[in-house]
Structure 1
Amino acid sequence: MLLWAAAVLAASAAGGLQDDARAAAAEYGVPESVLLGVSYLESRWDSHGGRPSVSGGYGPMHLVDAAAVPKGGHHHVGDPRGDGARPMRMAAPLPPARPAEQTLQRAARLTGLPPDVLRRDRAANLRGGAALLADEQRRLGAPLSSDPVAWHGALTRYANAGFANEVFEVLREGAGRRTDDGSLVRLPATPVPAFRTGGATAAECPSELACEWMPAAYERLGKGDYGNHDRLGSKRRVDYIVIHDTEGTFRGIPTLVKNPRYVSWHYTIRSRDGHVAQHVRTNDVAWHAGNWDVNSRSIGIEHEGYLAKGGTWYTEAMYRSSADLVRHLADKYGVPLDRAHIIGHDNVPGTTAKTVPGMHEDPGPYWDWARFFALMGAPIQGDGESGSEGEGEGTSVIINPDYATHQPTFTGCVSKTSAKLCKPQGAASVWLHTEPRSDAALVDDAGKRPGAGSTFSVYDHSARATAGQRYALAGTSGEWTAIWYLGQKAWFQNPPSSPTAVRANGPLVTPITDKVKVYGRAYPERSAYPSGVRYQEHAPLPYTLRKGQYYSLAQTLKGSYLAAGSYNPAKHVTVRGKLRYHQIQLGHRVMFVRADDVRVIS
């Protein structure tokens, strides 16, 4: 066995991934295009330096070893409902289940190769994936055909119908890229049919995703107490789609979402194959964001994964399923495909000064926003200029580093308090400094870390700006660019040879008085509340805007509040006011200012 493993390693070193895939496909009777299509969805043909994915998958074929899945439960703490009028008493979740998939061990049995070789050797990994596909075809009683179309059933068995449909979408489009180990791989476009349906389902999804309906609990728990979401009797306004990560495995999701004393969200997407499960109807309010105003106007999507543990990576299958779903929902509800409306949980504002430090950090800097938006057909781009010269009214930039080559320093991947550096990998964020020097201090966030300075922790976004976010330009100095950020000038490195931001168009706001207050909720004025509905205080956040500062404007809206405190949806009341707010990009999170306190610059 050791001699065989040595022979495999020698063969791998002799050629690139394309040659390895061709040899594996020929050995097991699988069309090369099908093998490359599956591998593209599972890893984009990358080996990730032998590191496992968020679901314990290794190598270009994402062979899963359950022992590699980081331990951890779902990450919700505090009050995900985020409504002071009805705080949520959340039960502790049960321990997460371990994943059942053991494709690494199964591939070892089929190929005779040791699991360790399958984990770390590219050629062996591809052989393992080809063996698995061929085995699924044989189990169907189907021949090992050279026609890719004959493999749709085996692909469905290998993962699910949505994954099989997406493989054929990749074959139709074709693909090509240089992988992280230097291999140049090309998958020519193949004239195969588009598979759009995956069987009848109650889920609200594009048909090609073949989503699963896995309903969340909606139960009365006592007088005036129920869980774990709010049902509405009429169509609601949706302004945001919120991207989360689960900090746990997909197999733990059914137990969690069916617990009426736990939180809720609308969808979960599995990493290894992009499988989508829906839990709450999109017209109903899930308890996921920690801010009731955002909850009442958003759809929450969880992605199987971990913000930081071990530097794990997300699959192409997950990105593509999520992009298809978000594009579908954005079209249905009229949500703009930009970073002011498609936001991370880490972009949701706190409701009061007290809640700001405990607001969540997911999906974190390793979520590839640029890739995500490109898959939605809405690539992150500016006005065509890569520089950032000049400043003044109406000038702004969009953060957009090259994810693959931009590898900033982070700590905290081993544990939340660890000072050990994370393994270098692509990231979507830039660090913000008080001066245009790499050795200058990071800017501070008085709300996130009151009385303490910012850190380089992967969990600390106090001094970070992320791909797609638009900021007002505050100045330039050599290779450095400054933006207005939390009431201060914040500098990031933006060299012309490898720019991390692009010039952008878009409206800004500037304060008309000093000490303009900022809010985490766009709630109506007191006079708008009818009898029987408690007035919601306007709680300013610990930030102040001053004259001469500028912030990007995303949308203008009138204050509203959904009073939902009854198991019976007919008793919910929506309060609509006349007080107008502007949503701005103040720091890492979006926030609100009263329209009368600022001037809009087109």
Structure 2
Amino acid sequence: MLRRPKILAALAAVALPAALVGVSLGGPPAEASQPAAASADGMSAFSAAAAKYGVPEPVLLAVSYAESRWDDHGGTPSTTGGYGPMHLTALGASEVADLSGKQKVATAESLQTLKKASELTGLDQSALRTDTTANINGGAAVLASYQKALGLPVGANTSAADWYGAIASYAEAGDKAGAAGFADDVYSIMAKGAARTTNTGRQIVMPALAVKPDKAQLSKLSLPAGVQPSKSDVECPPSLGCEWLPAPYSEFGTTGDYGNHDLANRPKTGKIDYIVIHDTEGTWQGVLNLVQDPTYVSWQYTMRSSDGHVWQHVKANDVAWHAGNWYVNMHSIGIEHEGFAPQGATWFTESMYRNSAKLVRYLAAKNNIPLDRAHIIGHDQVPGTVPSTVAGMHWDPGPYWDWEHYMDLLGAPIWGKSVLPVKAGSVVTIKPGFEGNVQVVSNCDAPATPCTPQATNFVYLRQSPDDNAPLVKDVGLHPNGSDGTTDVSDMGSRAAAGSQYVVAERQGDWVAVWYLGAKGWFKSPKSAPDAFAKPGLVVKPKAGKLSVPVYGRAYPEQSAYPAGIPYQTVTPLQYTIAAGQAYPVGDLNIETDYYRAVTFDGQPPTDHVQVQGKDRYYQIWFGHRMAYVRAADVDVRPAI
């Protein structure tokens, strides 16, 4: 039985509840700066606390890095009530549940390490919340107490390998799987080493130290075993302990409707090219309820903010309804991360970043997906399908998702050096840094109100090389021709970390790139650049063409459709590429296809089948979002 056309269902432009606007539903880690040496202020607190409470300094540093990357978050708590670089927790599980369901902590005991630290050190809880040195002392005392409780030796000179059980305890996980996952992360950080400047300007270096931890200590923890993933249930690295919570594939109503995803046989019915990073714009329990509703949309995975716990809902070979663009749905896996894009770092925890990166590395390897920003994309990079859907496309995970750190965790750092001069014709990669890149953003909490300053992942593009010039126009978002805005949801004037552009012009410290068919200017002084050049391929309109169209999907030509399958019109977006302009290639090898899936029973040869075309397309970097161009319209050339 036929269901309603997908463009009217949840696949193209979904009308969502207000609480879910964002859902369409090695060497040291690379950082914005690698200090040559640690400052005394940065390292002395860790050294002193390690000596005072008998914790090996590498253990203390690695635990803090896993919890917060040594940041103190300005004395404000995380979503689970954790404070400071040691993430000392102050809320009980019942209290957290009372906070409008903001987080439900997966543990039988209250999260009260702040109180425990106060009792162990004699320091006031207020100081432990707000004073970095006090917080580090508190964390060291708690770690030492866990070591003692396990009957294990304490001392700054003890082997870091003998602290596995205490580190696992520090995770405050609800089961051994979660505790072991945290401990394994800590030892991985220890083995790689780390160096960065914290949000308070402290320079900290942790030299690499590879040790073989005593994992047998995990048996000493009084915790249940936790989820033991089955190959028949979840597609996930075993270390993540993912759970299978299936999205329903079922009929409902009397009109042939069904939900909430489509059965397929990928890659045979369309290869998987993208992993789409979303945030939920809702708390995890509400989101888990929604994905089990057959009348709602779907996605493959959900990740919890507090500990990075993962649920899988849809198999990778099936097509979930998450991107708002059926072509991208056909070729992608969607991962929802608990959080609210306007709040950013409050929800995007280190545990979630790390577990998300583990999952993405696993999925990318399994599906041959390149680990780059043309294929590991935000929902905000997904293009509109036709002109009328462009303005309604979603913008999660938003300006506060740390793409630079995330790509570091994936083992695919964003390019941050120039092997070629940044000049007209160069392909440049945007890398503005994150911690020190605090851009003006508005309307996070109320209209016409500046957002609370925090690190951002982008640079603004202006209409001329002037700090006071208006932001570039996006005719898709602002059809009336008005200038771009600083609204948190207005992505139309932003160049995000990892995105690529072709330089149109350079004037001193200012660089202009081709962006949405026009020049967009940003400041990138040679002494502190935000853009870095390297070789690459670009597309240009073929000789004799004054302009060429761009598309939001790569659908087949009309002659490719067999009888019984309606032609899906190939409609250009409202943007064009003019002669003389150039845009970087994201992928030359995408499929020109359409996966026909409009009935529940899905009977071939007219349903649950892939229509393949011969008219080739290329994926390009175009504005903030990606786009597609017909190969017949453009030439592919090496950048200058």
Query: Given the two structures, how large is their TM-score scaled by the length of structure 1?
Result: 0.84
Q: Which deviations, in whole Å up to 9, do the C-alpha atoms of 1:485-535 show, x marking residues without a partner?
A: 111111111101110101122111112323422211111112222233222
1:201-600 equivalent positions in 2, closer than 5 A: 201-202=229-230, 203-222=234-253, 224-235=256-267, 236-309=270-343, 312=346, 314-381=348-415, 384-385=418-419, 387-389=421-423, 391-392=424-425, 395-415=426-446, 417-423=447-453, 425-451=454-480, 452-512=482-542, 513-556=545-588, 557-568=590-601, 571-600=607-636
Select which of 87, 95, 113 maps to 1:62.
87
Confirm or deny: 8 A CA contact 2:92 2:111 kept in the other structure: no
Equivalent position of 2:58 in the other structure: 33
- SS across alignment from 1:331: helix
Confirm or deny: 8 A CA contact 2:383 2:390 kept in the other structure: yes
1:85-164 equivalent positions in 2, closer than 5 A: 98-100=103-105, 105-109=112-116, 111-112=118-119, 115-130=125-140, 132-133=142-143, 146-157=158-169, 158-159=172-173, 160=178, 161-164=180-183
Q: Which stretch shows the higher mean deviation, 361-370 or 479-488?
A: 361-370
Confirm or deny: 8 A CA contact 1:232 1:569 kept in the other structure: no
1:248: how far off? 2.9
Task: Give me the CA root mean square deviation.
Answer: 3.1
Q: Which stretch shows the higher mean deviation, 267-276 or 328-337?
A: 267-276
1:342: how far off? 1.3
Confirm or deny: 8 A CA contact 2:247 2:260 kept in the other structure: yes
Q: Tell me the distance in 2 between the aligned counterparts of 1:59 and 1:531.
A: 64
* Structure 1 unaligned regions, length at least 5: 1-13, 72-94
| Pair 1:414–1:405, CA change in 2 (3 A) | same
Equivalent position of 2:5 in the other structure: none
Confirm or deny: 8 A CA contact 2:79 2:103 kept in the other structure: no
Q: Tell me the distance in 2 between the aligned counterparts of 1:136 and 1:288.
A: 43
Q: Which deviations, in whole Å up to 9, do the C-alpha atoms of 1:48-80 show, x marking residues without a partner?
A: 222334555321122345699xx9xxxxxxxxx
Q: Tell me the distance in 2 between the aligned counterparts of 1:287 and 1:249.
A: 20
Q: Tell me the distance in 2 between the aligned counterparts of 1:328 and 1:147.
A: 32
Q: Tell me the distance in 2 between the aligned counterparts of 1:171 and 1:533.
A: 56
Aligned-residue sequence identity (percent) comes to 49
1:210: how far off? 3.4
Q: Tell me the distance in 2 between the aligned counterparts of 1:38 and 1:231.
A: 42
Q: Which deviations, in whole Å up to 9, do the C-alpha atoms of 1:175-196 show, x marking residues without a partner?
A: 2333222334343433322779
Q: Tell me the distance in 2 between the aligned counterparts of 1:183 and 1:586.
A: 38
| Pair 1:397–1:204, CA change in 2 (3 A) | same
| Pair 1:67–1:585, CA change in 2 (3 A) | farther
Confirm or deny: 8 A CA contact 1:53 1:314 kept in the other structure: no
Q: Which deviations, in whole Å up to 9, do the C-alpha atoms of 1:80-136 show, x marking residues without a partner?
A: xxxxxxxxxxxxxxx855433796645315524655433212234334434554565
| Pair 1:407–1:383, CA change in 2 (3 A) | closer
- SS across alignment from 2:521: strand
Confirm or deny: 8 A CA contact 2:440 2:450 kept in the other structure: no
Q: Which stretch shows the higher mean deviation, 272-281 or 487-496?
A: 272-281
1:480: how far off? 0.6
Q: Tell me the distance in 1 between the aligned counterparts of 2:104 and 2:244.
A: 20
Q: Which stretch shows the higher mean deviation, 548-557 or 210-219?
A: 210-219
1:273: how far off? 3.3
Confirm or deny: 8 A CA contact 2:103 2:306 kept in the other structure: no
* Structure 2 unaligned regions, length at least 5: 1-38, 219-225
Which amino acid is 1:52 matched to?
Answer: P
1:548: how far off? 1.5
- Give the count of matched residue pairs: 559
Which amino acid is 1:100 matched to?
Answer: V
Equivalent position of 1:169 in the other structure: 188
Which amino acid is 1:432 matched to?
Answer: L
1:258: how far off? 2.3
Equivalent position of 2:68 in the other structure: 43
Which amino acid is 1:239 matched to?
Answer: D
Q: Tell me the distance in 2 between the aligned counterparts of 1:263 and 1:108.
A: 42
Which amino acid is 1:208 matched to?
Answer: S
